Chains A and B, each alone.
Chain A
Amino acid sequence: EPEVTQTPSHQVTQMGQEVILRCVPISNHLYFYWYRQILGQKVEFLVSFYNNEISEKSEIFDDQFSVERPDGSNFTLKIRSTKLEDSAMYFCASSEGTVSDTQYFGPGTRLTVL
């Protein structure tokens, strides 16, 4: 069964460093998403992406965040200058984009900012 994959599974970085989290969505899906889950808290929507542009973003998704689909398979989330409070599990998801749609999530990347 097709699945969303994410790399790395765990990323440790120093505060102020840039990180890039990578995702490979399901191949025939058209919509891509990033969510995050701070330890012990809700899963929160960050951004949705379609046709090479952002469709919607939350207030969490500020200028420090960016997304890109650099080629036909990868979807990346970049955090330019990480803060301690960026430590969280980051989930990528994708969907076909039909009316009867569901999102399929990857296993997540645990980001730890020291």
Chain B
Amino acid sequence: GEDVEQSLFLSVREGDSSVINCTYTDSSSTYLYWYKQEPGAGLQLLTYIFSNMDMKQDQRLTVLLNKKDKHLSLRIADTQTGDSAIYFCAEGEVGGYQKVTFGTGTKLQVIP
């Protein structure tokens, strides 16, 4: 079955860039998502990329996809303390209903 793996923890200084990495196993056409979960809150969709794309940029967020290596990354430029949260990588199949498979989540700690 599908599997999505992430490193568990990342610590960066405020103003630096953060890069959160993810690997996945499904090789079929798929969407890859990044969700943010703040303490005690739900899952906020940050951005997503379709598997035929290499890169997507949305303000401070840049998603890079290496389809050959099945490696996805989320770069947050000028990281702020409000970015401290758990970031989940997830993949879902294209079309109709889809089961989204989540990674373990990476806890991002931003040091002032």
Q: Do A and B bind each other?
A: yes
**Chain A residues within 8 Å of B, Cβ to Cβ:** 6, 31, 33, 35, 41-45, 48, 50, 55-56, 58, 91, 93, 95, 97, 99-108
Q: Determine whether the beta carbon of B88 is less than 8 Å from that of A103.
A: no
In the assembly, what is the distance between CA of A42 and CA of B98, in Å?
17
Q: Would you call B53 an interface residue if the criterion is a C-beta within 8 Å of the partner chain's C-beta atoms? A: no
Closest A residue to B100 by beta carbon equals A103
Task: Give 15 new A-B contacts, CB below 8 A, not counting A50-B96, A101-B98.
Answer: A33-B100, A41-B104, A42-B104, A43-B43, A43-B102, A91-B42, A91-B43, A97-B96, A100-B50, A101-B95, A102-B33, A103-B45, A103-B98, A104-B45, A105-B35
Shortest CB distance A91–B (Å): 6
Give the residue of B33, B48, B100, B103 whose beta carbon is less than 8 angstroms from that of A45.
B100
Q: List 27 A-B contacts (CB under 8 A).
A: A33-B97, A33-B100, A35-B100, A35-B102, A43-B88, A43-B102, A43-B105, A45-B100, A48-B99, A55-B97, A56-B97, A56-B99, A91-B43, A95-B98, A99-B94, A99-B95, A101-B31, A101-B92, A102-B33, A103-B45, A103-B100, A105-B42, A105-B43, A105-B44, A107-B42, A108-B42, A108-B43
